[in-house]
Chain A
């Protein structure tokens, strides 16, 4: 099984990729500075140091705490984070410092998560705590005094000088809860009550959790006007239910419930109607004011294949170009090549996450890895698809790329959990290998020789 040389351990590969990500980011940073100011950035030295220190800190922590984990996820996250930072810094100097701080906090959260969560099965015990935390966080913006309405969506909480979006950590807490809950109940939920042709329908009372999740996501949508989170929340829950029970009927029931919810929402809420009509016809009323989605389309079209070059476009014309619409800013300045690279980075991350899920040894790990990956993958799809008008726009952050502390920290925690599961799965392989039971899993990646 020596498919690779001893020195190409996953951590060595990771280190190489991290250096590459740091170089790409630094190169982009320099180009952006040349584009906007026609000069070398004054803080280029500190910038390179900070980005290397942050990524190396995460790398060393991984080396110490989860040495056998996946090798590409961390560099990919670093690259996405870096490109996002460059765009944010290019758009708004004052946000750059904050985003750098949040990146540091995110990396800290990543290390802390790896430190605290040594075995994922420890997490299974706290499932109802996670449920309470998740639901609590989700509903937190509805509280008086601390809840905040920003841009029509009530998804912010402000305590003292700090404001954050509790919906971001809530997703992770809920993923943890669903994974442990579904692992326990999957036998029960998987039992068919009756067959309708080839479709096995579950017992009505087992639909309880689905209905509950559906209701909760509707509440989020109605009360907080947060279409994106609501859609994401429901989608990843149904996906987890399907993976856990291996019953396609849950997908169908989920889709039906979703469609019903969508129709009702469209009929009931004007803001949903606005989103749909903007999706179908973004050009209406353009002579008075250019709608956000049309401005984003202009930006991406202007970028064309190769983009205007960093710092040479006009992405500041797009409203919310640092957050929800950052993908359009990337499309303008880096072109189709840049946006395609972003898509590839995300699909690689999704692939890495699902590979971890496939290799995970316990059902809980499998389900958790699937859920976390689904969150990241669908979230990126929902916002990119919204920005490029493949689907109606629902405001949500682009993982690792958009400006925003809550999102960045939550995604680094999500990444740490995936790395933890990955390490556990590969470590068991190692164990089996040394027991002479290698080859159980054909997807082993070649670090065995080093052990």
Chain B
């Protein structure tokens, strides 16, 4: 019997070894795969059981922090600046997941990136939470100016440093209080969120980079850029006829100038007064191919690689759809019908013109620091697109300076600083329009580019953009210039 007993011992050893091997499979080799399974709630519960890193503004102001909570989780997120940074920092809610920076840089904030943890291994035996703080490129001062300047008008303000792509302001009204959706009382959070979603103004949507609009006359700089890039126009040629109306081929419905005014001429005068008839004809003359190519070179049709989740691409219809449809091509050339842009995209257009034709990658993170305040990640500015040649950019810049000096955008002029700009009024029917302004300053070496939109303004004259949007643009430009000295 002893022989069998010994064999039984061997069998036991073998089957227990099999257990050991399988244990290694589950707890070591495939552990990461299992932990990443979406049905596994452990990660999110773990994250809610400990404090996250802070989100800080450019000047160190706390935008988001974890505070102890007596509710169902030990901590909750607090946003001391309320709605001011809601569309940037986002929120961090157990019931609704996360948004904004909280989402995009979650691994850093939760202390889960390689850099944080590799550093953390040395601290394994120390009872310390290894998380990282994210510092933004945006300072509350400029952001607050943008908020105050827009007031209670629905719209967005975007300010960006065209040299680096660093955002300086990113504000949309209405915004929302992220504290209310981040409370651990799930019922209260749910109620707040339902109310916000039911609001037709959709305050939770970061309109500045997630909503597209007709860019209106601000798009004329893109049309001009297309003509210049394709050598189909120059500052002196052609001179478009002085006219009240332009009737594109294949239709009898004319395109009119605002207030039925008469305008025409070469590039500078027609941009100065934002001449619809001339730019509509320019669009038809240069052709869909040229217009679409340059528009896409500015980033339309592509999601901007901003470090915020779910940015929206600006759009222009494809070349084929303009075939034998010159009326639509003519309207598109003046920023209506088949083109839509986010406020962020229009700021990038202005910035690219100011930055010798190169659009830098837009971003809101400036650096990430670990618990010991060591910088573990810094945003290195990098080009996103080369939209136009430098000489084309120079012509457009001068044309836009002219618009501010003599044209529709005089209200954009920052005192003592050469300013370039372009107004826009995108008609949306019922006598309403979106009022736009884009611009940059100082015009010769811009540190700030802006785009402002006010949605659904009364009136449909080209003066609308210059009257209501340009002053806001100037205020924000001034504040941002002061901040980037």
Q: Which A residues lie at the B interface, using CB under 8 A?
A: 239, 242-244, 246, 283, 286-287, 290, 294, 297-305, 314, 317, 331, 335-336, 339-340, 343, 346-347, 350-351, 354, 357-358, 363, 366-367, 370, 374, 377, 381, 384-385, 388-390
Name the A residues within 8 Å of B23 (CB-CB).
300, 331, 336, 339-340, 343, 388
Which of B2, B5, B27 touches A303 (beta carbons < 8 Å)? B27
Report if B445 contacts A (CB, 8 A). no
Q: Say if the beta carbon of B96 comes within 8 Å of chain A.
A: no
A-contacting 9-mer, from B39-47, B101-109, B160-168, B215-223: B39-47
Q: Which residue in chain A gives the minimum CB-CB distance to B13?
A: A347
A245–B165 alpha-carbon span in the complex (Å): 84
Which B129-184 residues sit within 8 Å CB-CB of chain A?
none
Whether the pair B5, A358 counts as a contact (CB closer than 8 A) is: yes
Q: Which residues of A contact B2 (CB under 8 A)?
A: 358, 366
Question: In the complex, which of the residues A297, A301, A317, A381 has the most CB atoms of chain B within 10 Å of its own CB atom?
Answer: A301
Query: Which of A243, A286, A346, A363 has its CB near the most chain B CB atoms (within 10 A)?
Result: A243
Chain A: interface secondary structure? helix
Contacts A242-B4, A336-B23 aside, 10 further interface pairs with beta carbons under 8 A come to A243-B8, A244-B1, A294-B37, A300-B27, A302-B42, A304-B31, A336-B27, A343-B16, A377-B12, A390-B19
Smallest CB–CB gap between B475 and chain A, Å? 50
- Which B residues are in CB contact (< 8 Å) with A367? 1
Q: Are A385 and B22 in touch, CB under 8 angstroms?
A: yes
Q: Contact partner of B27 among A317, A335, A351, CB < 8 A?
A: A335
Q: Is the CB of B28 within 8 A of A305?
A: yes
Q: Measured between alpha carbons, how far is A335 from B30 in the docked complex, in Å?
A: 14
B20 touches A304 (CB 8 A): no
User: By the criterion CB–CB under 8 Å, are B8 and A239 in contact?
Assistant: yes
Please classify the interface of chain B as helix (H, G, I), strand (E, B), loop, or mixed, using the class held by over half of its residues: helix
Those 6 A-B pairs whose CB atoms lie nearest each other, nearest first: A301-B34, A301-B31, A243-B4, A336-B27, A390-B22, A286-B39
B111 to chain A minimum Cβ distance, whole angstroms, is 15
Write out the residue numbers on chain B whose beta carbons fall within 8 Å of the beta carbon of A385: 15, 18-19, 22
**Which of these, B13, B18, B26, contacts A301 with CB under 8 Å?**
B26
A86 to B22, CA, bound (A): 25
Q: Is the beta-carbon distance between A294 and B39 smaller than 8 angstroms?
A: yes
Interface centre among B19, B23, B42 (most CB of A within 10 A): B19
How far is it, in angstroms, between the C-alpha of A294 and the C-alpha of B6 when the chains are bound? 36
Residue of A whose beta carbon sits closest to that of B20: A343
Give complex CA distance A335, B45 in Å. Answer: 19
Of all chain A residues, which has the CB nearest B4? A243
Chain B residues, CB < 8 A from A304? 27-28, 31
Expressed in whole angstroms, the Cα–Cα distance for A246 and B3 within the complex equals 8
Q: Which residues of B contact A336 (CB under 8 A)?
A: 23-24, 27-28
> Contact at A340–B5, with CB atoms within 8 Å?
no
Residues of B close to A243: CB separation below 8 A: 1, 4-5, 8
Q: Assess the A246–B1 pair: CB atoms within 8 A.
A: yes
Q: How many angstroms from the CA of A286 to the CA of B30 in the assembled complex? A: 18
Contact A354 B4 (CB under 8 A): no
Complex contacts, A317 vs chain B, CB 8 Å: 41-42
Q: Does B415 contact A (CB under 8 A)?
A: no
**Which of these, A298, A340, A347, A377, contacts B34 with CB under 8 Å?**
A298
Q: Are A298 and B5 in contact (CB under 8 A)?
A: no
Name which residue of chain B comes closest to A374, CB basis. Answer: B8
Q: How far is the CB of B44 from chain A (nearest CB, A)?
A: 11
Is A302 within 8 A of B18, CB to CB? Answer: no
B5 touches A302 (CB 8 A): no
A370–B35 Cα distance when bound, in Å, is 41
- For this complex, 17 residue pairs linking A to B, each with C-beta atoms less than 8 Å apart, are A243-B5, A290-B39, A298-B35, A300-B23, A300-B27, A317-B42, A336-B24, A339-B23, A339-B27, A340-B20, A340-B23, A343-B23, A347-B12, A354-B6, A367-B1, A370-B4, A374-B8
B9 within 8 A of A: yes
CA distance A298 to B30 in the complex (A): 10
Bound-state Cα–Cα, A25 to B26, Å: 26
Q: How far is the CA of A297 from the CA of B29 in the complex (A)?
A: 13
Question: How far apart are B364's CB and chain A's nearest CB, in angstroms?
Answer: 33
B35–A302 CB distance below 8 A: yes
Q: A63 to nearest B CB, angstroms? A: 28
Chain B residues within 8 Å of A354, by CB: 5-6, 8-9, 12
B45 to chain A: which residues have CB within 8 Å?
A: 314
A residues in contact with B26, CB < 8 Å:
297, 300-301, 331, 388-389
In the docked arrangement, what's the CA distance between A389 and B21, Å? 12
Interface centre among A317, A336, A366 (most CB of B within 10 A): A336
Which residues of chain A are within 8 angstroms of B27 by Cβ–Cβ distance? 300-301, 303-305, 331, 335-336, 339
Residues of A close to B34: CB separation below 8 A: 297-298, 300-302
List chain A residues, Cβ under 8 A from B19: 343, 381, 384-385, 388, 390
Residues of B within 8 A of A339 (CB): 23, 27
Chain B residues lying within 8 Å of A244, measured Cβ to Cβ, are 1
**Could you tell me if B35 and A301 are in contact, using CB atoms closer than 8 angstroms?**
yes
For the complex, give the distance between the alpha carbons of A366 and B1 in Å: 8
Chain A residue at minimal CB-CB distance from B24: A336
Once bound together, how far apart are the Cα atoms of A363 and B2, in whole Å?
Answer: 10
Distance of A301 Cα from B24 Cα, bound (Å): 10
